[in-house]
Amino acid sequence: GLILLSGVDKPGITASLFETLSAFAITVLDIEQVVIKDRLILTVLIALNPAHESAIATDLESCAANLDVDIASLFSYEQKSALSTKSNLAQVVISSRKLNPKAISELAASISQSGANIERITRLASTPVTAIEFVLSGANQEELSQILSPIAASNGVDIAVQPGGLQRHARKLVQLDVDSTLIQQEVIELLAAKAGVGSEVISITEQAMRGEIDFEQSLRARVALLKGLPVSAISEVQEQILLTPGAKTLVSTLHTLGHTVAVVSGGFIDVIAPLLKELDIKLKPQD
Protein backbone atom coordinates (compact mmCIF):
# COMPACT_ATOMS: atom_id res chain seq x y z
CA GLY A 1 0.00 0.00 0.00
CA LEU A 2 1.01 3.60 -0.59
CA ILE A 3 0.30 6.41 1.90
CA LEU A 4 0.62 10.05 0.86
CA LEU A 5 0.54 12.79 3.51
CA SER A 6 0.59 16.50 2.63
CA GLY A 7 0.06 19.69 4.58
CA VAL A 8 1.69 22.53 6.46
CA ASP A 9 4.90 21.29 8.09
CA LYS A 10 5.24 21.25 11.88
CA PRO A 11 7.08 19.12 14.44
CA GLY A 12 5.56 15.74 15.28
CA ILE A 13 3.82 14.86 12.00
CA THR A 14 6.08 11.95 11.10
CA ALA A 15 6.00 10.59 14.64
CA SER A 16 2.20 10.77 14.78
CA LEU A 17 1.75 9.04 11.43
CA PHE A 18 3.95 6.11 12.36
CA GLU A 19 2.45 5.89 15.84
CA THR A 20 -0.89 5.36 14.10
CA LEU A 21 0.57 2.68 11.83
CA SER A 22 2.36 0.91 14.70
CA ALA A 23 -0.93 -0.59 15.87
CA PHE A 24 -1.01 -2.82 12.80
CA ALA A 25 1.14 -5.66 11.43
CA ILE A 26 2.87 -3.53 8.80
CA THR A 27 6.29 -3.65 7.17
CA VAL A 28 7.73 -0.33 6.00
CA LEU A 29 9.28 -0.76 2.53
CA ASP A 30 10.20 2.82 1.62
CA ILE A 31 9.85 6.38 2.91
CA GLU A 32 10.29 9.66 1.06
CA GLN A 33 9.80 13.06 2.69
CA VAL A 34 10.34 16.56 1.33
CA VAL A 35 9.59 20.03 2.67
CA ILE A 36 9.30 22.92 0.22
CA LYS A 37 8.92 26.23 2.05
CA ASP A 38 6.42 25.25 4.75
CA ARG A 39 4.67 22.49 2.80
CA LEU A 40 5.36 18.86 3.70
CA ILE A 41 4.93 15.86 1.41
CA LEU A 42 5.54 12.46 3.01
CA THR A 43 5.08 9.16 1.20
CA VAL A 44 5.30 5.73 2.78
CA LEU A 45 5.26 2.39 0.98
CA ILE A 46 4.08 -0.47 3.19
CA ALA A 47 3.32 -4.17 3.05
CA LEU A 48 0.16 -5.07 4.96
CA ASN A 49 -2.49 -7.69 5.52
CA PRO A 50 -5.38 -6.84 3.13
CA ALA A 51 -7.84 -7.69 5.90
CA HIS A 52 -6.59 -4.64 7.83
CA GLU A 53 -7.04 -2.12 5.02
CA SER A 54 -10.34 -0.70 6.25
CA ALA A 55 -9.15 -0.32 9.85
CA ILE A 56 -5.92 1.35 8.75
CA ALA A 57 -7.81 3.75 6.49
CA THR A 58 -10.14 4.71 9.37
CA ASP A 59 -7.23 5.37 11.74
CA LEU A 60 -5.42 7.39 9.07
CA GLU A 61 -8.49 9.60 8.67
CA SER A 62 -8.43 10.32 12.41
CA CYS A 63 -4.70 10.97 12.29
CA ALA A 64 -5.17 13.43 9.41
CA ALA A 65 -7.89 15.30 11.31
CA ASN A 66 -5.76 15.54 14.46
CA LEU A 67 -2.74 16.82 12.52
CA ASP A 68 -4.77 19.05 10.18
CA VAL A 69 -3.17 17.47 7.11
CA ASP A 70 -4.37 15.45 4.12
CA ILE A 71 -3.64 11.71 4.07
CA ALA A 72 -4.47 9.60 1.02
CA SER A 73 -4.00 5.84 0.93
CA LEU A 74 -3.81 3.53 -2.06
CA PHE A 75 -3.90 -0.06 -0.86
CA SER A 76 -4.33 -1.47 -4.36
CA TYR A 77 -0.89 -0.07 -5.22
CA GLU A 78 1.21 -2.72 -6.91
CA GLN A 79 4.78 -2.58 -5.68
CA LYS A 80 7.39 -2.46 -8.40
CA SER A 81 10.97 -3.59 -8.02
CA ALA A 82 12.83 -1.73 -5.30
CA LEU A 83 15.27 0.90 -6.53
CA SER A 84 18.25 -1.00 -5.16
CA THR A 85 17.47 -3.99 -7.42
CA LYS A 86 17.25 -2.00 -10.64
CA SER A 87 20.12 -2.02 -13.09
CA ASN A 88 22.37 0.70 -14.48
CA LEU A 89 21.74 3.22 -11.72
CA ALA A 90 23.05 6.73 -12.25
CA GLN A 91 22.95 10.05 -10.46
CA VAL A 92 22.57 13.34 -12.35
CA VAL A 93 23.01 16.64 -10.50
CA ILE A 94 22.04 19.93 -12.13
CA SER A 95 23.16 23.10 -10.38
CA SER A 96 23.05 26.84 -11.00
CA ARG A 97 22.77 30.13 -9.16
CA LYS A 98 19.55 30.73 -11.10
CA LEU A 99 18.00 27.43 -12.16
CA ASN A 100 15.31 27.96 -14.81
CA PRO A 101 12.48 25.57 -15.82
CA LYS A 102 13.80 25.26 -19.39
CA ALA A 103 17.02 23.62 -18.19
CA ILE A 104 15.09 21.07 -16.11
CA SER A 105 12.64 20.44 -18.96
CA GLU A 106 15.42 19.71 -21.44
CA LEU A 107 17.25 17.58 -18.87
CA ALA A 108 14.19 15.45 -18.11
CA ALA A 109 13.31 15.07 -21.81
CA SER A 110 16.84 13.94 -22.66
CA ILE A 111 16.84 11.44 -19.81
CA SER A 112 13.59 9.98 -21.14
CA GLN A 113 14.89 9.88 -24.73
CA SER A 114 17.99 8.01 -23.58
CA GLY A 115 15.80 5.22 -22.23
CA ALA A 116 16.53 5.96 -18.57
CA ASN A 117 13.83 6.45 -15.95
CA ILE A 118 13.80 9.04 -13.18
CA GLU A 119 13.32 7.19 -9.88
CA ARG A 120 13.81 10.03 -7.43
CA ILE A 121 14.38 13.80 -7.40
CA THR A 122 15.92 15.55 -4.39
CA ARG A 123 17.19 19.06 -3.69
CA LEU A 124 20.76 18.87 -2.41
CA ALA A 125 21.43 22.59 -1.88
CA SER A 126 19.70 25.93 -2.23
CA THR A 127 22.25 28.60 -1.22
CA PRO A 128 24.22 30.05 -2.87
CA VAL A 129 23.68 27.49 -5.65
CA THR A 130 20.54 25.45 -6.25
CA ALA A 131 21.45 21.79 -6.82
CA ILE A 132 18.91 19.13 -7.78
CA GLU A 133 19.72 15.41 -7.83
CA PHE A 134 18.00 12.99 -10.23
CA VAL A 135 18.43 9.28 -9.44
CA LEU A 136 17.98 7.20 -12.59
CA SER A 137 17.61 3.55 -13.48
CA GLY A 138 18.31 1.97 -16.87
CA ALA A 139 20.96 4.59 -17.60
CA ASN A 140 24.06 4.49 -19.75
CA GLN A 141 26.42 6.88 -17.98
CA GLU A 142 28.66 7.63 -20.95
CA GLU A 143 25.71 8.21 -23.27
CA LEU A 144 24.01 10.44 -20.71
CA SER A 145 27.11 12.58 -20.32
CA GLN A 146 27.24 13.18 -24.08
CA ILE A 147 23.52 13.97 -24.32
CA LEU A 148 23.41 16.30 -21.33
CA SER A 149 26.59 18.26 -22.02
CA PRO A 150 24.98 20.54 -24.68
CA ILE A 151 22.07 21.24 -22.30
CA ALA A 152 24.49 22.47 -19.67
CA ALA A 153 26.23 24.76 -22.15
CA SER A 154 23.07 26.21 -23.69
CA ASN A 155 21.40 26.93 -20.35
CA GLY A 156 24.42 28.11 -18.40
CA VAL A 157 24.14 25.38 -15.76
CA ASP A 158 26.41 22.64 -14.45
CA ILE A 159 25.38 19.01 -14.98
CA ALA A 160 27.30 16.11 -13.44
CA VAL A 161 26.67 12.44 -14.20
CA GLN A 162 27.94 9.80 -11.77
CA PRO A 163 27.35 6.12 -11.07
CA GLY A 164 24.45 5.51 -8.70
CA GLY A 165 23.70 2.86 -6.11
CA LEU A 166 24.96 2.21 -2.60
CA GLN A 167 28.63 2.65 -3.52
CA ARG A 168 28.05 6.29 -4.43
CA HIS A 169 26.17 6.97 -1.21
CA ALA A 170 28.97 5.38 0.81
CA ARG A 171 31.69 7.67 -0.58
CA LYS A 172 32.27 10.92 1.28
CA LEU A 173 34.46 14.00 1.18
CA VAL A 174 36.12 14.59 4.55
CA GLN A 175 37.60 18.08 4.89
CA LEU A 176 39.86 19.01 7.80
CA ASP A 177 41.29 22.18 9.22
CA VAL A 178 45.07 22.05 9.62
CA ASP A 179 46.26 24.06 12.63
CA SER A 180 45.37 22.50 15.99
CA THR A 181 43.28 19.90 14.17
CA LEU A 182 45.30 17.80 11.74
CA ILE A 183 48.47 18.96 13.47
CA GLN A 184 49.00 19.82 17.13
CA GLN A 185 50.52 23.26 16.59
CA GLU A 186 49.66 26.60 15.00
CA VAL A 187 52.15 27.05 12.14
CA ILE A 188 52.13 30.83 12.35
CA GLU A 189 53.06 30.63 16.02
CA LEU A 190 55.99 28.33 15.24
CA LEU A 191 57.21 30.82 12.64
CA ALA A 192 56.67 33.68 15.08
CA ALA A 193 58.85 31.96 17.66
CA LYS A 194 61.63 31.77 15.04
CA ALA A 195 61.22 35.51 14.44
CA GLY A 196 61.23 36.30 18.15
CA VAL A 197 57.66 37.66 18.11
CA GLY A 198 55.82 34.68 19.55
CA SER A 199 53.95 36.51 22.31
CA GLU A 200 52.89 39.33 19.98
CA VAL A 201 51.42 36.89 17.44
CA ILE A 202 49.61 34.89 20.13
CA SER A 203 48.12 38.14 21.48
CA ILE A 204 46.73 39.03 18.04
CA THR A 205 45.32 35.52 17.63
CA GLU A 206 43.53 35.84 20.97
CA GLN A 207 42.05 39.19 19.88
CA ALA A 208 40.65 37.53 16.75
CA MET A 209 39.22 34.65 18.80
CA ARG A 210 37.40 37.17 20.99
CA GLY A 211 35.94 38.83 17.90
CA GLU A 212 37.77 42.10 18.43
CA ILE A 213 39.32 41.95 14.93
CA ASP A 214 38.33 39.86 11.90
CA PHE A 215 40.37 37.00 10.45
CA GLU A 216 41.89 38.95 7.57
CA GLN A 217 43.03 41.77 9.84
CA SER A 218 44.56 39.36 12.31
CA LEU A 219 46.34 37.39 9.58
CA ARG A 220 47.80 40.51 8.01
CA ALA A 221 48.94 41.81 11.41
CA ARG A 222 50.59 38.53 12.33
CA VAL A 223 52.29 38.07 8.98
CA ALA A 224 53.63 41.65 9.16
CA LEU A 225 55.50 40.67 12.32
CA LEU A 226 57.29 37.91 10.39
CA LYS A 227 58.94 40.36 7.99
CA GLY A 228 62.61 39.55 7.53
CA LEU A 229 62.33 35.92 8.61
CA PRO A 230 64.70 33.81 6.42
CA VAL A 231 63.30 31.14 4.09
CA SER A 232 65.27 28.55 6.05
CA ALA A 233 62.70 28.94 8.85
CA ILE A 234 60.18 27.04 6.73
CA SER A 235 62.18 23.81 6.72
CA GLU A 236 63.00 24.26 10.42
CA VAL A 237 59.33 24.60 11.30
CA GLN A 238 58.42 21.61 9.13
CA GLU A 239 60.56 19.46 11.43
CA GLN A 240 58.67 20.73 14.48
CA ILE A 241 55.19 19.87 13.21
CA LEU A 242 53.51 16.98 15.01
CA LEU A 243 50.40 15.22 13.77
CA THR A 244 47.46 15.05 16.15
CA PRO A 245 47.35 11.55 17.70
CA GLY A 246 45.31 9.27 15.47
CA ALA A 247 45.36 11.65 12.49
CA LYS A 248 47.53 9.44 10.29
CA THR A 249 45.40 6.37 11.03
CA LEU A 250 42.21 8.34 10.39
CA VAL A 251 43.39 9.60 6.99
CA SER A 252 44.71 6.18 5.98
CA THR A 253 41.47 4.46 6.98
CA LEU A 254 39.32 7.00 5.12
CA HIS A 255 41.41 6.52 1.97
CA THR A 256 41.11 2.74 2.28
CA LEU A 257 37.32 3.07 2.47
CA GLY A 258 37.32 5.06 -0.76
CA HIS A 259 36.69 8.48 0.77
CA THR A 260 38.46 11.67 -0.32
CA VAL A 261 40.32 13.66 2.32
CA ALA A 262 41.07 17.34 1.80
CA VAL A 263 42.24 20.22 3.99
CA VAL A 264 41.64 23.94 4.18
CA SER A 265 44.02 26.34 5.86
CA GLY A 266 44.56 30.06 6.22
CA GLY A 267 48.19 29.34 7.01
CA PHE A 268 51.34 28.73 5.04
CA ILE A 269 51.10 26.15 2.27
CA ASP A 270 54.88 25.79 1.88
CA VAL A 271 55.17 24.65 5.49
CA ILE A 272 52.53 21.92 5.42
CA ALA A 273 52.79 20.78 1.77
CA PRO A 274 55.35 17.99 2.39
CA LEU A 275 53.24 16.57 5.22
CA LEU A 276 50.09 16.60 3.11
CA LYS A 277 51.90 14.92 0.24
CA GLU A 278 53.02 12.18 2.62
CA LEU A 279 49.43 11.67 3.77
CA ASP A 280 48.11 11.84 0.18
CA ILE A 281 45.80 14.70 1.14
CA LYS A 282 44.55 17.17 -1.42
CA LEU A 283 45.33 20.74 -0.53
CA LYS A 284 42.77 23.47 -1.17
CA PRO A 285 44.17 26.88 -0.24
CA GLN A 286 41.77 29.67 0.63
CA ASP A 287 41.01 32.13 -2.16
Whole-number Å distance between alpha carbons of 17 and 61: 11
DSSP reduced 3-state for 113: helix
Q: Would you mind telling me the total number of residues written for the chain in this entry?
A: 287
Secondary structure letter of residue 183 according to DSSP: B
CB 268 within 8 A of CB 234: yes
DSSP state letters, 15-28: HHHHHHHTTS--EE
Q: At what angle do helices 187-195 and 232-240 cross, to 10 degrees?
A: 130
CA distances from 218 to 72, 254, 269 (A): 58, 34, 18
Answer yes or no: 177 catalytic.
yes
Distance of CA 64 to the CA centre of its chain: 33
Q: Of the residues 179, 214, 280, 287, which is catalytic?
A: 179
Q: Of the residues 68, 70, 158, 177, which is catalytic?
A: 177
Cis previous bond, 11, omega within 30: no
Answer yes or no: 158 catalytic.
no
Q: Annotated active-site positions, please?
A: 177, 179
